Amino acid sequence: MILNSHLMLCCLFIYLNAQWYQQSAYLIQNKLFIESTGLGTTYQTEGFINSTQQLSANFINCATPNTSYITLNSKNTSAQKDSPQLIPSGGIISFDLYFHDNWLNEAVTFTIESFYYTYTYTSPTTYPSSIGFCNSTPYEVKTINFTVTSQVSGYIKFSTNVAGNGQVSIRNIIFSQYKMNCFPTCSTCTGPEYNQCTTCYQGYPTHNICPQCPLNLFYRQNQGCKQNCPFSEQKYVNGFCQTQLQSYHISAGFWQFVIQSSSPPPSIFSQYSLIYDPQNIDTSPQVVQNGPTYLFGIFKLNSGPYRFIIISRNLNNYLIGLKIQLLIFDNIPLGCGVQIKINNTYYGSIFSTNSEVLSHKFKIEEVNIQSTCISPYISCQLYKLYGSFDIPPYSFLLTVQGNYTQSQSLQKTQKFGSWMGCKLY
């Protein structure tokens, strides 16, 4: 009798619609830094500062490649990011450490809140390479990876206890997160379908299905219900804001003014000017820093900034999508507000009533209470305004001007700061 024996191997494959994605990344591109101790310090070194003083973090400059590296040594023992980072449970942190000169069982420590990771290093008799780091400096690079077991939030910091002439340069800091690809209404889910939601961006799930927006509100995918779709997603299809191509785009912030320690580039700065209140001349407004944010001045009474927006392309017909962010210090006085003008013609405003702050011709998309506020102000609220307007296809003058009257008892202290930007489509 002949017996045939067969072995059957069964494999079960489960497809999960999920992936690792890059949450944030720092120091990943070649860039030359500028040493700074004043306004704009954080922008000189990609937001890395000396953790004990408000100075640029220590760095070295290289010709090959043409870049800078944040570098720690016995005289510069730490570097810290200027803004907080949230790392969820299970998140992965990775970075490259370029060791050079002499190390003897000395350590580099990464810290965020109460979490820390320490890497101890001893340099070899001869470094393995002198090409690819900084000019012809001998070095060894170590790529560090580790997982955060519980959610942490705080300022990331690198420090060292090196005592000799050893140095370590930091590069390619990457925070990664594993996330399920959910339906756009689901903030968390068990799968990618609309009926697999566990929590919602808006409201609560019923039978694992998240609700749609109420009337007159628009659903931004993976955000929730808003008063409008963003300028880059003006199509509203299947219940969601959808991406559409933009024909023209202008965006202007004021960080450009402080990139250089000297005066800002004339081609940029000449487009901005101040509007003075003739009854109360105040020449103090200038670019200031409020936390990590830069403002084009702090204004009071009937003053404000204006900018000439140059349209360099020939466009026949278009709307201007205008986004303005106003940082209000200590609330808007009753009956007062801030006006927006185009070519000296009124186009909209926000103003204070007995019960709330309202808008005219603009939509208040969001109001955020800021965690930091310039002294002596107690509170700061960031108003995000959106509006779309039909104007002639030519360059135009954009004005943001206060309407804080002398009769208001608190007008001496209540002010607003502004950041302007716009998109044309």
pLDDT in tens, 256-287: 443 333 334 434 444 567 788 788 777 766 66
Q: Please tell me the predicted confidence (pLDDT) of residue 413.
A: 38
Instruction: Report the candidate in 127, 130, 87, 135 with the shortest Cα–Cα distance to residue 111.
Output: 87
Query: Does residue 253 register a pLDDT over 60?
Result: no
**Strand, helix or coil for residue 19:** strand
Region of poorest pLDDT, from 182-191, 247-256, 357-366: 247-256
Bridge partners of residue 98, in order along the sequence: 141, 169
Report d(CA 118, CA 72) in Å as an integer: 14
- Residue 80 has phi, psi (to 5 degrees) of -135, 145
The single-letter code of the amino acid at 375 is: S
Please name each of the domains of the chain with its CATH number.
18-179 (2.60.120), 183-242 (no CATH), 255-424 (2.60.120)
User: What is the residue-averaged pLDDT of the chain?
Assistant: 79
Report d(CA 334, CA 246) in Å as an integer: 39
**Strand, helix or coil for residue 44:** helix
The share of the chain scoring above pLDDT 90, in percent, equals 32
Query: Does residue 247 register a pLDDT over 70?
Result: no
Which tokens sit at 107?
């350590």
Report d(CA 215, CA 223) in Å as an integer: 17
Match 């619609």 to its residue by tokens: 17
| Confidence label for 6 from pLDDT (cuts 50, 70 and 90) | very low
Between 393 and 64, the more confident residue is: 64
Q: Please tell me the predicted confidence (pLDDT) of residue 302.
A: 82
Section 20-35 average pLDDT = 86
Q: Please tell me the predicted confidence (pLDDT) of residue 313.
A: 62
- Residue 26 has phi, psi (to 5 degrees) of -135, 150
Q: Please tell me the predicted confidence (pLDDT) of residue 198.
A: 93
Between 229 and 135, the more confident residue is: 135
pLDDT digits (tens, 9 = 90+) for 172-201: 999 988 777 889 999 888 888 999 999 999
Residues 6 or more apart in contact with residue 19 via CB below 8 angstroms: 178, 179, 181
Query: Does residue 317 register a pLDDT over 90?
Result: no
Q: Compute the residue count for the chain.
A: 425
Q: Please tell me the predicted confidence (pLDDT) of residue 69.
A: 97
pLDDT digits (tens, 9 = 90+) for 36-78: 766 556 667 888 988 666 688 999 999 999 999 999 999 999 9
Section 320-337 average pLDDT = 81
Between 413 and 322, the more confident residue is: 322
> Which of 21-25, 122-126, 177-181, 265-269 has the highest average model confidence (pLDDT)?
122-126
Region of poorest pLDDT, from 54-68, 153-167, 228-242, 271-285: 271-285
Q: Answer whether 108's CB lies under 8 Å from 97's CB.
A: yes
Instruction: Report the candidate in 48, 66, 170 with the shortest Cα–Cα distance to residue 108.
Output: 170
Region of poorest pLDDT, from 27-31, 135-139, 292-296: 292-296
Region of poorest pLDDT, from 109-118, 184-193, 396-405: 396-405
Q: Please tell me the predicted confidence (pLDDT) of residue 2.
A: 47
Residue 58 CB-half CA count within 13 A: 17
The CA-based angle 60-85-32, given to 5 degrees, is: 20
**Strand, helix or coil for residue 269:** helix
Between 134 and 11, the more confident residue is: 134
Query: Does residue 159 register a pLDDT over 90?
Result: yes
Q: Which residues of 80-111 are buried (b: 16+ CB within 10 A; e: fewer)?
A: bbbeebebeeebbbebbbbbbbebeebebebb
